[in-house]
């Protein structure tokens, strides 16, 4: 019994869960296992201390973070989602925040006119334009915009829609046209209504980064001279391009079309086209004529390689007004 008493004292020192009810063999086995585990832990600690570096993945801080992460993953696998620390210190969660809808976060004037639109209905072009004019909350002469979501992939060269259209009644904006062409074309450009005409003098204006124009038209032989200004003109959409009709041999015709309301439209990265078709002051009839001219132009731009739907959805709205779903016009 003396041996068993000594073994029980050793077990108590190691904090083992054994008692006098256990046999001597069981107590010895428990003491041996605990001693082996303690020695193993000491070896791991000694080995770890030997490889601890001042910085990097082997630094003391990095090793502690790795242990904390491993412990967190172990608790996650065990299904223990409680936070570390005393459970009594857990705080009660407050009430859930009240999330308002997008419409409720709009202004009073917007919410008032939005009530007139049936969001579940798809309107005809005539009805949509009339409703857009009726639901214009702005106090200024707002633009009327058309937004078309296409089923194309803009990353594909043959599906990157870009074209121009001459709106019958213009856009309602005063377009400032600049012409970069030989001196022989200057008189024709001025008679057609160009605001700025020049060759070398125009390049000096670009050197000063003075861009007091909305459209730049150039002749093909003068395009190489604009190469070094691509970073200035390109991001602003002012670089002449044959697809937009701003690189032309007939300067008079190009200027006349630009001043009359010829606009460029192109698909963005989200495969959507946004275009202003006029002002609220135009009235429903002129806006409808402009809209039909745009949709006719867009229909002709359908890529031959496209197998799916060309136009997914269309909407019309004023600058600050709510959107109105429109029947497929293209």
The one-digit pLDDT tens for each residue of the chain (330 residues) are 556 677 777 777 777 776 777 777 777 777 777 776 666 666 555 555 555 666 677 777 787 888 888 888 887 777 766 655 444 455 677 788 888 888 888 888 888 888 899 888 999 999 999 999 999 998 889 999 999 999 998 888 888 898 888 888 888 888 889 999 888 889 888 888 888 898 888 888 888 888 888 889 999 898 988 888 888 888 888 888 887 888 888 888 888 888 887 888 999 999 999 999 999 999 999 999 999 999 999 999 998 888 889 999 999 999 989 999 998 876
Task: Give the Cα separation of 56 and 222 in Å (integer).
Answer: 59
Q: What is the pTM of this model?
A: 0.61
Residue 218: beta bridge partners? 180, 247
| Per-residue model confidence (pLDDT) at position 9 | 75
| Per-residue model confidence (pLDDT) at position 1 | 54
176-260: CATH superfamily: Ribosomal protein L1/L10, domain II (3.40.50.790)
Q: Where in the chain is the domain with CATH 3.30.190.20?
A: 107-173+262-330
Which candidate, 279, 222, 227, 266, places its Cα nearest to that of 247? 222
* Distances in whole angstroms, Cα of residue 208 to Cα of each of 144, 150, 179, 192, 249: 35, 40, 17, 27, 27
| Per-residue model confidence (pLDDT) at position 84 | 53
| Per-residue model confidence (pLDDT) at position 126 | 93
| Per-residue model confidence (pLDDT) at position 49 | 57
In CATH, what is the architecture of 107-173+262-330?
Answer: 2-Layer Sandwich (3.30)
| Per-residue model confidence (pLDDT) at position 43 | 57
What CA dihedral angle connects 209, 212, 215 and 221, to 10 degrees?
-50
Q: Where in the chain is the domain with CATH 3.40.50.790?
A: 176-260
| Per-residue model confidence (pLDDT) at position 297 | 92
């Amino acid at each position: 019994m003396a041996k068993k008493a000594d073994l029980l004292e050793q077990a108590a020192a190691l904090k083992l869960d054994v008692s006098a009810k256990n046999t001597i063999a069981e107590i010895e086995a428990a003491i041996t296992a605990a001693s082996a585990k303690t020695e193993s832990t000491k070896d791991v600690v000694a080995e770890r201390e030997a490889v601890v570096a001042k910085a990097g993945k082997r630094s003391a801080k990095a090793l502690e973070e790795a242990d904390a992460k491993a412990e967190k993953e172990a608790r996650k696998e065990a299904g223990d989602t409680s936070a570390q620390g005393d459970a009594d210190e857990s705080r009660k969660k407050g009430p859930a925040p009240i999330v308002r809808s997008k419409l409720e976060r709009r202004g009073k004037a917007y919410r008032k006119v939005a009530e007139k639109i049936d969001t579940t209905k798809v309107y005809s072009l005539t009805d949509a334009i009339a409703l857009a004019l009726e639901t214009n909350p702005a106090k200024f002469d707002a633009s009327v915009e058309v937004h078309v979501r296409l089923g194309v992939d803009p990353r594909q060269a043959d599906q990157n829609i870009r074209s121009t259209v001459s709106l019958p009644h213009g856009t309602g904006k005063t377009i400032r046209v600049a012409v970069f062409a030989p001196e022989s074309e200057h008189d024709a450009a001025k008679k057609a209504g160009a605001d700025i005409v020049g060759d070398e003098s125009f390049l000096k204006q670009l050197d000063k980064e003075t861009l007091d124009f909305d459209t730049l038209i150039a002749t093909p032989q003068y395009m190489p001279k604009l190469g070094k200004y691509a970073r200035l003109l390109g991001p602003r959409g002012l670089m002449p391009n044959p697809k937009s009709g701003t690189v032309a041999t007939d300067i008079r015709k190009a200027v006349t079309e630009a001043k009359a309301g010829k606009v460029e439209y192109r698909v963005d990265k989200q495969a959507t086209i946004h275009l202003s078709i006029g002002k609220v002051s135009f009235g429903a009839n002129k806006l409808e004529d402009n809209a039909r001219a745009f949709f006719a132009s867009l229909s002709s731009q359908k890529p031959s390689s496209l197998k799916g739907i060309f136009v997914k959805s269309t909407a019309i709205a004023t600058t600050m007004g709510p959107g109105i779903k429109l029947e497929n016009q293209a």
